[in-house]
Amino acid sequence: MKTKSWIPLESNPDVLNTYARTLGLDLSDHAFCDVLGLDKDLLCMVPQPVLAILMCFPITKETEAASKAEDVASGSTTATEVDYFMKQTIGNACGTIGLLHIVGNCTQQLKLTKDSFLDQFFKATKDLDPAARGKYLEDPPEGALSIEEAHQAAASEGNTAPPSEDEDVNLHFVVFVQRKGRLLQLDGRRPRPIDCGATTESTLLQDTAGVVKKFAELTHSISFNLIALAAIEA
């Protein structure tokens, strides 16, 4: 049976802000913004506090090898150590999975519009396991709101022409969040959250930058893009 596939989202904070609002995320206090680089001076330009970071990078043999090594090393980390983790069962849906991972793990800081897609989705899937959550997103039960139309509309926005649903796209999104003093990477293609070390709410961005630098060195790649969900400056 052919895997269901969507048009991928562009790694663009404006696209994400519009998409998130459409799904019911209240962005009156927070918004997605670009992280322009990993140097200290550039990181300081990002408003604080940062709730989460979305990373987009090309999948290569080197990144896949690094991921497999991390999966083995993090074998004791379980999905219960984060508030919300789900599997990706739809091709090119990693941007949407990333957005859901962010919202699901920042529920205390974020507000959802009542009866919106996000409100209904998290209420319906809170007690499901990661695989069942992914299946619910792919094939929602009768009467449940579907995210597919909103995703496809968001995927048509941005600065570049979107590829087709069946086009082989090698770009992938993952999320970094802080939970219980640990920096966790959430990737719906992988079996569990990845513990990347200690962090705090105030150092999440800097600690994520450190992980990304190591990732770039390990994979011999500087082709990545970071977007932060951060407080709106008054």
CATH of domain 13-231: 3.40.532.10
pLDDT digits 0-9 by tens, 145-185: 999 999 999 999 877 766 666 666 678 999 999 999 999 99
User: How far is 73 from 220, CA to CA, in rounded Å?
Assistant: 21
Classify 234 as helix, strand or coil.
Answer: coil
pTM value is: 0.91
Res 78 pLDDT > 60: no
Strands (E), the chain: 25-26, 30-35, 50-58, 111-112, 171-179, 182-186, 194-198, 225-231
Mean pLDDT value across the chain: 90
**Residue 13 pLDDT level (bands cut at 50, 70, 90):** very high
Q: Which residues contact 144 (CB under 8 A, 6 or more apart)?
A: 120, 121, 124, 136
What is the chain's alpha carbon radius of gyration, rounded to the nearest angstrom? 17
- Tell me how far the alpha carbon of residue 177 is from its chain's centroid: 9
Tell me which amino acid residue 115 is.
D
In this structure, the strands spanning 194-198 and 225-231 are unpaired
Give the dihedral sign, CA 204/205/206/210: positive
**Helices and strands (H, E) in the chain, number of each type:** 8, 8
Angle between helices 204-219 and 61-73 (to 10 degrees): 120
Rounded-to-10 torsion of CA 198, 201, 202, 205: 70
- Tell me how far the alpha carbon of residue 69 is from its chain's centroid: 21
Catalytic residues: 94, 172
